Amino acid sequence: MKKVGFIVFEDFALWQVALLQKFLNNNGYELETLSIGGGLVRTDGGLFVASEALEGRDANEFQILLLPGAGGAMPESLLENKELHLFLQTFKGIIAASCASTIIIASAGVLDGEYTTMPQMKDRFSSYLPDDGYCDCDVVIGEKIITARGYAHYDFMMAILGRLGMLEADPRLGRMALKLSKNQ
């Protein structure tokens, strides 16, 4: 079974990755929701999502780590969390970070090369980000890391589905994703 580690935190933006999660689930990926300490985690829309603790887990049991953006303020405690940093640093697969989660992976020291995030996040958390590499665009697809602006959820989803080979395996998937993302 192919596994996705979905790393969540208080007030995360579930809407940025909900359709992507459906396509991953429908195509043989098991999604496991992880957080610091585990338990119920509130989304920016007020829903609560159950999660398992990521502490003590082997990051490499997953093929991809998916981090949604922050719907509200980025919890700065995440940016200094040593367990989360170690989890991200030891991971050998693809890390996909939307919006503010680019700051999380940067704080762990795993952001390498070009990246993107929301401009206000780049300005506010510049001390965590590399001095160079910022791309003023919606999505950056790197060798190991995919980053996106929060509003670019469709492009982010397509980049991930493409990287996983799912669009090539089923060309209808791309058309369906476009229709569903536009609500047509």
CB-based contact 64:28 (threshold 8 Å): no
pLDDT in tens, 63-99: 999 999 987 778 788 899 999 999 999 999 999 999 9
CB 7 within 8 A of CB 50: no
This model's pTM is above 0.85? yes
- For the chain, the domain total comes to 1
Residue 77: domain span: 2-182
- The whole-number pLDDT of residue 112 equals 87
CATH assignment at residue 128: 3.40.50.880
pLDDT range class, residue 180, cuts 50, 70, 90: confident
